[in-house]
Amino acid sequence: MNKTVLITGATSGIGLACARKFAANGDRLILTGRNELQLAEIRRELIGQGTEVLTLAFDVRDGRRAKELIERLPEEWAVIDVLVNNAGLALGLEAEYEGNFEEWETMIDTNIKGLLTMMRLVVPGMVARNRGHVINIGSVAGDAAYAGGGVYCATKAAVKTLTDGLRIDVSGTAVRVTNLKPGLVETNFSNTRFHGDTARAAKVYEGIKPLTGDDIADVAVFVTNAPDHVQIAEVLILATHQASGSVIARSNG
């Protein structure tokens, strides 16, 4: 059965890849993001391929706006089968004692509070219908801290804990909950972290073939298509030569 899939942060990276992969799977999409023009462009692309698409332009940090838009969904879009909580970011790579207060707030408000907001708005409907699937995009960074990434790693550790907590809370229902934990994925992630410093961002992926957004999106589609009695609770997805968040075997060639 085709599903209605809501994807946050759908204008680039893993979110955009998920939109395209779920569209190819025959699902209909509710795409959210901050950039209304980019959302409109993606909508035109996917509609041209025969996919039904609704776009909602808002920042997940704005809980009031998110609530307003979700509660005002047209009746034919109100039943959300899959929530992909993808919106998230890292900012800076300074030591914690030298970090930027505003960047900390942005990461915490987006990666933790934004994720919580979307679960609070969407999951009650899933519980009432006794079906649904929540996919939270965590990170290998949530398993252990690395130098300069303490706050970001803490937010992704929170994603793991919140995902586990939700899975416990809905265990008496048929709602499934998955934490996808990517390692190095070559998207605009590092470019955002380094405030548009493309050369510095490129060094993150030197000497290794990193994952792509499509690799993560493939797993997202896979877990939602598992049999109803199968809940894939957590998936750690690493590039072949990455062993953990901080151990990467880079080639010199």
**Active-site positions?**
152
Q: Rounded to the nearest 10 degrees, what angle do helices 115-129 and 63-71 cross at? A: 30
Helix or strand or coil: residue 52? coil
For residues 202 and 143, is the Cβ–Cβ distance under 8 A?
no
The two three-digit tokens of residue 7, written as one number: 């994807």
Q: Rounded to the nearest 10 degrees, what angle do helices 13-24 and 213-224 cross at? A: 50
Please tell me the distance from the alpha carbon of residue 53 to that of residue 40, in angstroms, as a whole number: 10
For residues 123 and 174, is the Cβ–Cβ distance under 8 A?
no
* Residue 48 backbone phi and psi in degrees, to 5: -60, -20
Residues composing the chain: 253
Please tell me the distance from the alpha carbon of residue 110 to that of residue 116, in angstroms, as a whole number: 9
